[in-house]
Amino acid sequence: MLKQKLINFAKKIFLHPLVKTPLLAFSILAIAVLFFFTFLHIFSRHGRSFPVPDFSSLTIEQATELAKDKRLRLEITDSVYIATRKPGTVIEQNPKSGTFVKANRRVFVTTNAVNPILEDMPNLIGLSLRQAKSVLQLQGFKIGSLSFVPDIAVNNVLEQKYKGEQVEPGTQIPKGSEINLVLGKGFYNERTGLPRVIGLTLAEARNLLHDASLNLGRYSFDETIFDEADSLNAMVYSQYPNPTGETSISFGARVDLWLTLNESRIPPESKPKIEEDEEDTDDEFDYSEMEIEEVIE
């Protein structure tokens, strides 16, 4: 009897307009807040970042499935042909594996074509090194080695070669090929500044050396490098010759590099500024000449 009276009393209290209306409003608000935070958790994971997986060596189908599973968007931006790599697989990606990004981020990949993609060789004769570099990149080629001969046209292209032979403009050669350049160096033993490439990746260092009319020499990776992805992310911790002050060096000289993933091995000096067109620009890297050497210390 007493229990029934208490139940009836509670009903009267909760059904009273002064109690019912605020209680209903609070319930609706609580449900809305719960739904909102559940929605955030499902679709944004509270805005937390997560590392980009390694897509290298995966087929497009495998890479697409992995991207979907990680809530990323895969976009193919280029295709080149490298005989030593499996056709139809990813050979380069940006952002690199291990980079922390948020959901729905686009990942740009370069794939290895099933068959060689041929491009017309441009005419570089008479262009400056910087101009020739831009033209080659636009056509999908890369600069190989730089050699210099006495000539009044300092740093201007005198010959263009492919696989050791002069190549005429318009000749079709595989996209992604290296083009070796012969340039003038003047008649008075002109020299160029030696850039400091400590803290840069191999691709960045190679690019900066070419800008300075120099060549990449031998390069070695230490014990922190286990695979291709590691080699792409590795940074230079030592170089030879080592720049001291305003060091100058002969045109075309080679600079040897040692690379690591251990940031504690990199000297504390700030690394040189590398200009990029945009955040998602892919780094260039010559996969055809990839080599991993053990550093003997």
Neighbouring-strand partners of residue 192:
249
Domain end residue (candidates: 164, 189, 214): 189
pLDDT at 181: 98
Q: How many domains does the chain have?
A: 4
pLDDT at 124: 98
Low-confidence ranges of the chain (pLDDT < 50): 46, 270, 273-297
Containing structural domain, residue 144: 118-189
List beta partners, residue 156. Answer: 128
Q: Say whether pTM exceeds 0.85.
A: no
Q: What confidence tens digit (pLDDT) does each residue in 21-72 have? A: 766 667 777 787 776 666 665 555 545 789 999 998 899 999 999 999 999 9
Cα–Cα distance, 46 to 27 (Å, whole number): 24
Listed residues 73, 94, 112: the one ending a domain: 112
Side-chain-side CA neighbours of 168 within 13 Å: the count stands at 2
Question: Do 284 and 196 lie in a common domain?
Answer: yes
Shared domain for 97 and 138, answered yes or no, is no
What would the two tokens of residue 163 be? 């696989």
